[in-house]
Chain A
Amino acid sequence: MRDNGGPAYSRERQITLLETLDRLLNRGVVVAGDMTLSVANVDLIYLGLRLLVSSVETARLLGGGQRPPSEPPPEEGLREQSSRSTRRPNNHCNDRTSLGNTSGTEGVRGNGE
């Protein structure tokens, strides 16, 4: 959950970010507040899962799927992963930088409660 100071796009960091994203946007106490943010959750998480699956698959290809997330994959793994990602249609979530752009899909609604 915390940044351990690893390489900027390490697999562990990417997985941690996706797991955090999933929890912070889709789970946790829901408060009908003065202002509630609605994000395109489904799309984001769908993309997140695809990414996660491709990174687990990459780990399996390289190491029989036994590698714990704390061990960063060799460089080939990252290349494999990103080439998969770029083949996906509507991809805007394949790295940290473009993940930030998803805030463009946010909508704010006041629900007056």
Chain B
Amino acid sequence: MDGLYLYGIVSFPPPLLQQLRGLGESPVFLVPHQDLAAVVSRSPLSPWPVDEAHLTLHETVVEEVMAARPILPIRFNTFLRIKEAVIALLDERAQAFRSTLERVEGKVEMGLRVLWEVPGEAHAPVDRETKFGGPGTEYLSRRLRDEERQAGLRAAGERMMRDVHALFQSLAVESWLQRLPTDRLLFTGAYLVERYRVNTFREGVAKARQEFSHLSFLLTGPWPPYHFVNGAHDATEDTLGA
């Protein structure tokens, strides 16, 4: 049974200029409703495999559309059975879609991952108490040490993160931050950057590489604004306390 696979939400008109092929080689078209439209293609109602080929197809459709106008990218493997359901979606969330499209217009997302040297790993304290206690004491003191280490790590990380993040925040319109996703990854950031400032942002990263030579920076993009399209759901994870 066939349905519709969704790639993104755009303002309507204008119509799609390109002849795009989406997942399963199906032609991509618009389902319009008032001043909005969904970018879709016909598709069997079964999930596409999560592999490079299929992810790339989805991403390519979004990027091709984005080259001409703002688009709100939709999550991979999202289907609606019929056109009427797409229209209902556009109708129900029209206000949010409109305001988000305005917010991201003329902007792209830059992705940044910053790796740091985890402090204190080399000199973990030698445990002297455990020989006086049983296995329970040992367990508890190990737990305590782990917690202390985690707290110290977070405090040190937060200071550094604030300094580094501030550099990039000033080059972006909005930013999203996830701190210490793993111990070694200081933070993952997504930055909504005006197209004309993408090079300035890149230069900012180059400067940061010099200023913070003990950190490693991985910059990717420009991307469609994946981190900035769900309103409250986009909230920075574990926000900076300051």
Contact of A99 (CB < 8 Å), options: B52, B216, B220 = B52
Interface string of A55-91 (1 = CB under 8 A from B): 0110110001110110000000000000000000000
Quick check: B75 and A34 within 8 Å, CB to CB?
no
Interface residues of B: mostly helix, strand, loop or mixed? mixed
Chain B nearest Cβ from A52, distance in angstroms: 7
Name the residue among B49, B52, B185, B213 with the largest chain A CB count within 10 angstroms: B52
Q: In the assembly, what is the distance between CA of A35 and CA of B76, in Å?
A: 12
User: Which residue of chain A is the closest to B73 with respect to CB atoms?
Assistant: A28
Stretch at the interface among B128-136, B139-147, B157-165, B222-230: B222-230
Name the residue among A15, A16, A35, A100 with the largest chain B CB count within 10 angstroms: A35
Within 8 A of A (CB), among B61-79: 63, 72-79
**Count of chain A residues near B, Cβ 8 A:** 45
Quick check: A49 and B229 within 8 Å, CB to CB?
no
Contact of B223 (CB < 8 Å), options: A1, A31, A60 = A1
Interface string of A87-113 (1 = CB under 8 A from B): 000000000100110110010100000
**Count of chain B residues near A, Cβ 8 A:** 51
Chain B nearest Cβ from A18, distance in angstroms: 9
Quick check: A30 and B63 within 8 Å, CB to CB?
no
User: Which residue of chain A is the closest to B79 with respect to CB atoms?
Assistant: A35
User: Which residue of chain B is the closest to A45 with respect to CB atoms?
Assistant: B181
Quick check: A56 and B56 within 8 Å, CB to CB?
no
Q: Which residues on the A side are within 8 Å of B45 (C-beta)?
A: 34-35
Quick check: A30 and B75 within 8 Å, CB to CB?
yes
User: Which residue of chain B is the closest to A60 with respect to CB atoms?
Assistant: B216
Interface residues of A (CB under 8 A from B): 1-3, 15-17, 19-21, 23-31, 33-37, 39, 44, 49-50, 52-53, 56-57, 59-60, 64-66, 68-69, 96, 99-100, 102-103, 106, 108
| Nearest 6 pairs of A and B residues by beta carbon | A65-B216, A27-B226, A100-B51, A37-B77, A24-B76, A23-B226
